[in-house]
Structure 1
Amino acid sequence: MQQEFDLIVIGGGPVGENVADRAVQGGLSTVIVEHELVGGECSYWACMPSKALLRAGAAISAARRVPGAAEAVTGHLDVQALFAHRDDVVKHWDDSGQLEWLDGAGIQLVRGHGRLDGERRVVVDTPDGGSVELRARVAVVVATGSDPLIPRIEGLAEARPWASREATSAEQAPRRLAVIGGGVVGVEMAAAYASFGTEVTVIARSGLLREFEPFAGELVGEGLAEQGARVITGASPVRVERVGAADDADASGGEVRIELSTGETIVADEVLVATGRTPRTHGLGLETIGLEPGDWLEADDTLRVPGHDWLYAVGDVNHRALLTHQGKYQARAAGDAIAARARGDEASDAPWGAHVATADHHAVPQVVFADPEVAAVGLTAAGVEEAGLRTRVLDYELGWVAGASLLADGYRGTARMIVDEDRGVVVGATFVGQDVAELVQAATIAIVGEVPIDRLWHAVPAYPTMSEVWLRLLEAYGRPAA
């Protein structure tokens, strides 16, 4: 028996939910196919639980930097209470609240693993061992996200390593944790577990946060060291072994020994692999429409897959910007574009149009919730050089801003603004320091809006706040001509 809908969305995370919501608002009958929890990776195993685990340590560190408050911090972080709070944040891995939202939004749900079976056709293998056939009158959206990439290191897979899910859903903190990888996930989980009192070792061959400005990795590395973590650079794991576990089925137990290229051996109770992501495109039936299983799916700025006018790839799976907020941005554009095309209208596909994800190219905001935080948007100094732009790079020490001195005694941090000299607009900004996350939205607006530097002088920052750094950066750039 075949069921027909205007739109079929494979993947019920925040990206799939947003595509479906916009399509329903555009008048399309829509179904989501999801084999795990509706709400997806971000809600249950990534963004939300990781930030819940990080917050308590950040709050204690912030209090210890304020005279008067520091003296009130007399105990240690209660890890089990924090894990209980994490459980509340993820609704104890129960998606019943999301199901109520789907019902209220007019979106149908089919539980099971969905796979393409030719053009506009999806077969769902259901949990009871049966199957459901779905047909899309208009479009199919693939919003299946990504999985952790486990590198081919001798013995690593057999050592039963943690990936991001295991790190964010752990029921207790190990005494020793080794982290392989110096990207966002590795840095955030290293910071979280170090705040729990875990002995943390980060193995980051090329350094920390390499996609950001160099000072970001340097300051975050200093912060990890202050938390008691060790960061090893210039070395790679060559062999991993778990020894002393009760049996091969034991997901933990014993200890993990990691042999490095330098000859040193790191011993830990658990090893977290945070070396990148791989697309969830295996088992999706891509071969039935001439695409390669296991590959990232290419998508244009309206998120449509070239050569398939009925197929869209949204979120991580298209490898444009592997961030929840950016995936939801793509989802809004895609859902509106699908609905417009279904009505026979043309999609607004010009840059910054209603149906495109233009910001993916050069205005992607991101926050790393380490201690210190990193908040960045747009191009880095290396990026503008690669793009061949004529720019000026302005740096300012955040500790010199009045608002920072109130936040923390001896505040340390750096702000960078990059200006395109030919257009007179900001094209990149990076802030590193305590509580800088909220600064990134102003920078994002300046970049997306292409606000002229001369006009930014009239955006007066309130005193004494961290936002005063904008005035200091503009002063470093120079006053506008009379």
Structure 2
Amino acid sequence: MAQHAYDVVVIGAGPVGENAAARAVGGGLTVALVDHERFGGECSYWACIPSKALLRPGNLLAAVRRMPGVDHDGGLDPAAVFARRDAFTNGGDDSAQVDWVRSAGIEPVRGHARITGEREVTVGGDVFHARQAVIVCTGSVVRMPSVAGLEQLPAELVWTSRDATTASAVPKRLAVLGGGVVGTEMAQAWAQLGAEVHLLMTGPRPLPAYPEFAGDAVADGLRSAGVRLYPDTTAEQVSEVDGADVGAVRIAHKGDVVDADRLLIATGRKPATAELGLDAVGLEPGDPMPVDDNGLVSGVDGGWLYAAGDVTGRAPLTHQGKYQARIVGDVVAAAARGDTVYRSPWSSHTTTADHHAVPQVVFTDPEVASVGVREPAGAGQRAVELDIAVAGSALHADDYAGRLRAIVDTRRDVLLGMTFVGPDTAELLHGATIAIVGEVPLHRLWHAVPAFPTISEVWLRLLEEYGL
């Protein structure tokens, strides 16, 4: 077997792996970056980028219809929407991404990587020895639910999130299992494109991880887009419809049935660690990789194995994985130079934000944007809620409907979390993130004057509601 030596071997060439590799190279190390699929990863070709490209035209059309004086009769051209999406993903061609990897001084390697020993990664007939570290950034994969009959369905009838973001024909009927982020976003996107969409969810409203007012607002938005909601239900059995002119699937649930031309499974994801050979270093394949705040994997001797992104199970979001990767790359480079690796909170080498300030946006209409904690936890924490009703929101759209919740540490008068729901509230999120990370006292925020007339004026209303 051919032998190769690099300072660092990074497994997984999505945005997380690319960032880890780039930071390590920037720190003076040699790096091999390995992936068996497309360089650029899930986010670039199957998740964040194509899903938002599918959602944006429908959300823009909904915004237009809220504005008097604008022609409301236009619709979406699915072919044009798909073409724009494909432009963002280069039609699945990752050659430009590979060129970038090489230009950054990183060696791209295609193939399935397995950890086969200490500081050793095997890719096909090649063995890569990492003088300093191996960094795992392989992301996550779909978690398939246990539903009777699912494994027997013809593959062409079942969509995962990858199919939902890359399909180029609108199904007449689409059933979606799961009311989380992927389920709600894709239900709305395909309804806006003209599909008859049925969303089955186990809870009373979509987005169960968010405050109830956010889920209720998104439910209203889904209904406005034409999505039929089935709350508090579970798919009990699925089967192919006999005698259908075209392939169709029947979903039995709660004494009723839904027939659809495609069934989208959106019931969650799990870390992609099953085929990494983790058993060779005493870890359980398929489980999240436990890491400390420097990204070092726990339970592996020698201090050489690191992980970042979805594989850690910490905060399965692209931007948070990239944040972790930048820190891990810097930590590995610092350790290789013999420099101090800092372990104190909020230092340049610790992923402190994983615990305190994880931002996330659900790109439905209305949008949901959240950072930090979403519910108060006992004495010393107070929830402050109010409608987003300022001059900026009234000008933004007729009948603008939005709401926010702030969680305040009343002992220190600092924000611990913010949740917004409403059209275009994602643009309010980074201000909240800065306030939380910076632990800006609310009396100081009083002097951060919001421009008039913008939706950001709601910050002033929030401080007034709190009592300042």
Using the size of structure 2 for normalisation, the TM-score is: 0.97
CA distance in 2, matches of 1:328, 1:405: 36
Q: Could you tell me which of 382, 388, 406 is aligned with 1:392?
A: 382
Q: Give 2:314's aligned residue.
A: 320
Q: Give 1:476's aligned residue.
A: 465
Please say if residues 34 and 110 of structure 2, whose CA atoms lie closer than 8 Å, have aligned partners that are also in contact. Answer: yes
Q: Could you tell me which of 325, 332, 338 is aligned with 1:344?
A: 338
For structure 1, which runs of at least 5 residues remain unmatched after alignment?
Answer: 126-130, 247-251
Q: Could you tell me which of 397, 403, 415 is aligned with 1:426?
A: 415
Please tell me the residue identity of whatever aligns with 1:184.
V
What SS is found at the alignment partner of 1:117?
strand
Please say if residues 147 and 277 of structure 1, whose CA atoms lie closer than 8 Å, have aligned partners that are also in contact. Answer: yes
Shift of 1:97: 1.2
CA deviation string 1:297-331 (max 9, x = no partner): 10111111013310011100000000000000000
Please tell me the residue identity of whatever aligns with 1:341.
A
Q: Give 1:267's aligned residue.
A: 259
Q: Could you tell me which of 127, 130, 138 is aligned with 1:136?
A: 130
Please tell me the residue identity of whatever aligns with 1:305.
V
Matched, 1:407 2:404: no
Please say if residues 282 and 299 of structure 2, whose CA atoms lie closer than 8 Å, have aligned partners that are also in contact. Answer: no
Please tell me the residue identity of whatever aligns with 1:101.
W
Please tell me the residue identity of whatever aligns with 1:84.
A
Please tell me the residue identity of whatever aligns with 1:169.
T
CA distance in 2, matches of 1:58, 1:235: 28
CA distance in 2, matches of 1:330, 1:393: 29
Q: Give 2:230's aligned residue.
A: 232
Identity across the alignment (%): 54
CA distance in 2, matches of 1:74, 1:454: 48
Please say if residues 245 and 255 of structure 1, whose CA atoms lie closer than 8 Å, have aligned partners that are also in contact. Answer: no
Please say if residues 198 and 229 of structure 2, whose CA atoms lie closer than 8 Å, have aligned partners that are also in contact. Answer: yes
Shift of 1:75: 2.4
Q: Give 1:115's aligned residue.
A: 114
CA distance in 2, matches of 1:211, 1:361: 16
Alignment of 1:41-440 (within 5 A): 41-69=42-70, 72-125=71-124, 131-159=125-153, 160=155, 161-206=158-203, 207-244=205-242, 253-260=246-253, 262-308=254-300, 309-381=303-375, 384-385=376-377, 388-398=378-388, 400-440=389-429
Moved more, 159-168 or 3-12: 159-168
CA distance in 1, matches of 2:393, 2:382: 25
Superposition CA RMSD, Å: 1.3
CA distance in 1, matches of 2:331, 2:285: 26
Cα 1:9–1:74 change in 2 (3 A) is: same
Counting matched residue pairs gives: 461
Please say if residues 156 and 240 of structure 1, whose CA atoms lie closer than 8 Å, have aligned partners that are also in contact. Answer: yes
Q: Give 2:36's aligned residue.
A: 35
Matched, 1:451 2:404: no
Shift of 1:227: 1.0
CA distance in 2, matches of 1:9, 1:245: 50
CA distance in 2, matches of 1:307, 1:419: 37
Please say if residues 389 and 420 of structure 1, whose CA atoms lie closer than 8 Å, have aligned partners that are also in contact. Answer: no
Shift of 1:86: 0.7
Shift of 1:242: 2.0
CA distance in 2, matches of 1:474, 1:194: 38
CA deviation string 1:324-359 (max 9, x = no partner): 000000001100000001111221111001111100
Please say if residues 49 and 90 of structure 1, whose CA atoms lie closer than 8 Å, have aligned partners that are also in contact. Answer: yes
What SS is found at the alignment partner of 1:432?
strand
What SS is found at the alignment partner of 1:447?
helix
CA distance in 2, matches of 1:73, 1:124: 55
What SS is found at the alignment partner of 1:157?
helix
CA distance in 2, matches of 1:101, 1:412: 43
Shift of 1:466: 0.9
Please say if residues 244 and 253 of structure 1, whose CA atoms lie closer than 8 Å, have aligned partners that are also in contact. Answer: no
What SS is found at the alignment partner of 1:416?
strand
CA distance in 2, matches of 1:95, 1:243: 38
Cα 1:407–1:5 change in 2 (3 A) is: same
Shift of 1:245: 8.6
What SS is found at the alignment partner of 1:302?
coil
Q: Give 1:26's aligned residue.
A: 27
Moved more, 301-310 or 436-445: 301-310
CA distance in 1, matches of 2:327, 2:268: 26
CA distance in 1, matches of 2:281, 2:406: 46
Shift of 1:243: 2.9
CA distance in 2, matches of 1:156, 1:464: 52
